[in-house]
Amino acid sequence: MALKTLLILTAGFGEGHNAAARNLRDALLAISPQTRVVLSDVFLDGGGFLTRIAPPAYLAIINHAPALWQAFYGLIDHTRLVEWHIGIHRSAARRLESLLSEYQPSLVVSTYPGNNHLLDFVCRRRVHRPFHTFTIITDSLTINSVWYRPHSDLFLVANDPTAAVLRQAGVPPQKIRVSGFPVPRVSGSHQVDRPIPPRDGRWRVLYLVNSGHRAAPDIVSRLLDCSNTHLTVAVGRDERLGHRLKDLANGRSLEVLGWIPDRLPTLMAESHLLVTKAGGATVQEALAAETPMIITQVIPGQEEGNARLVVDYGAGILALSPAAIAKAVEEAFCDQGSQWKAWHAACKTLGHPKASEDIARLLLDFPKSR
């Protein structure tokens, strides 16, 4: 029987939290249209001054002062700083209390750890609540304790190695479920023609420009010099960068795209290689699409584990300079793509293309009351 109401809590601190929340919502509504699904970023929707400036401040720090972010990440991992100060987000707390009162959800799902701490705050740390709490951990291997210190009935993780990390940290095994990451639903339904080697002799490389825009022109210039490749670059909403990159083509095979979130899953599955940063959602979507990665940037802390998952389990490589990126592309496709084939085989063992549907069914079948 479908849940009457399910509340999904996300936050704008990195796109992975929002992607997980959106993809889960879409799967729930597709499987059980009669279920009422409410998705909210209570920090943003609450409208408080702190919560308005926090996401852009976070992005500025990770892009321009990564060492500062790494120090803060370690601080919240080893102290109770979040618990001590969560009460300052009073507007978010009021918004959360309003949602709980209005919708009376039987299950609350969080894709961002701050929401769990806020739930503890508004519930006065009571474990026995009128709803169950699920937590979708959006990163792999490097899991800050801020994720599992607050109450949650179940922690959903993307893979077995991450489940082992939680068990080692003292999370009871019965509270851990390996579910995969909720990727877009279309990731599990691709019928992609991706012959190896390509029929036209051109390997398809997809470069997703991330926050490191300054390096993008040099990276594209190097990738355009790679032999037997077709390069697609997605620049998001940065139209100026898109025009600048098109000028680099000089007759070479280059396609520049803008903001295309709906096309990305298919585009990713059609590409032989993905070149981008080690974001939690991006890594999991690439694995679900069975597309090996060349990782160009790693945010200290939460993204280190995502990069380790790709590299240590053989689904791609870390290359942090434009020259190293181009070299990795060339080596992946040489000898009839022998390196690419090894990476692709690893992706198939790590990806969970139907995770959104699997998680949705888990939630829908979960007991409504204790």
Taking only the tens place, the pLDDT of each residue in 253-294 is 899 999 888 889 989 999 999 999 999 999 999 999 999 999
**CATH class of the region 189-350:** alpha beta
Query: Burial level of 126, CB count in 10 A (0-12/13-18/19+)?
Result: exposed
Question: What are the two backbone dihedrals, phi and then psi, of residue 156, each rounded to the nearest 5 degrees?
Answer: -100, 125
Any idea where the domains of the chain sit in the sequence? 5-183+353-365, 189-350
Whether the predicted pLDDT of 330 surpasses 50: yes
pLDDT tens by residue, 208-236: 998 667 899 999 999 999 999 999 999 99
d(CA 196, CA 158): 28
Tell me, rounded to whole angstroms, the distance of Cα 249 from its chain centroid: 31
CB atoms within 10 A of CB 56: 10
pLDDT classification of 1: cutoffs 50, 70, 90:
very low
Residue pLDDT, tens place only, 134-177 = 999 999 999 999 999 999 999 999 999 999 999 999 999 999 99
Percent of the chain with pLDDT over 70: 94
Indicate if 189-350 has the same CATH topology as 5-183+353-365: yes
Please state, in angstroms and rounded to a whole number, the distance separating the CA atoms of residues 311 and 321: 16
- Choose among 8, 6, 5: nearest CA to 116: 8
* SS3 of residue 184 by DSSP: coil
User: What's the rounded Cα separation, in Å, for the pair 160 and 165?
Assistant: 9
pLDDT, tens only, 248-259: 998 888 999 998
DSSP secondary structure code for residue 313 in this structure: T
Task: Label residue 63 by pLDDT band (50, 70, 90).
Answer: confident
Calpha distance 54→75 (Å, rounded): 17
* 2 pLDDT more than 50: no
Q: For the residues 9-30, what does the mean pLDDT come to?
A: 92
| pLDDT at residue 92 tops 60 | yes
Residue 193 phi, psi (nearest 5): -90, 100
Partners of 231 in the β-ladder? 205, 254
Count the Cβ atoms, other than its own, within 10 Å of residue 68.
12
Which residue is listed with tokens 């240590």? 312
How far does Cα 159 stand from its chain's mean position? 13
Lowest mean pLDDT among 53-57, 198-202, 221-225, 227-231: 53-57
Residue 159: name the closest of 142, 145, 174, 171 by CA: 142
Q: Distance (Å, rounded) from C-alpha 352 to C-alpha 307?
A: 17
**How many beta carbons lie within 10 A of that of residue 262, not counting itself?**
10
* Residues belonging to the chain: 370
- CA 52 to CA 42: how far, in whole Å? 11
Average pLDDT over residues 31-35: 94
Looking at domain 5-183+353-365, its CATH class is alpha beta
Residue with tokens 């434009």: 322
What is the per-residue pLDDT for 49?
63
Round to whole Å and give the CA distance between 41 and 298: 25
Q: What is the mean pLDDT of the chain?
A: 91
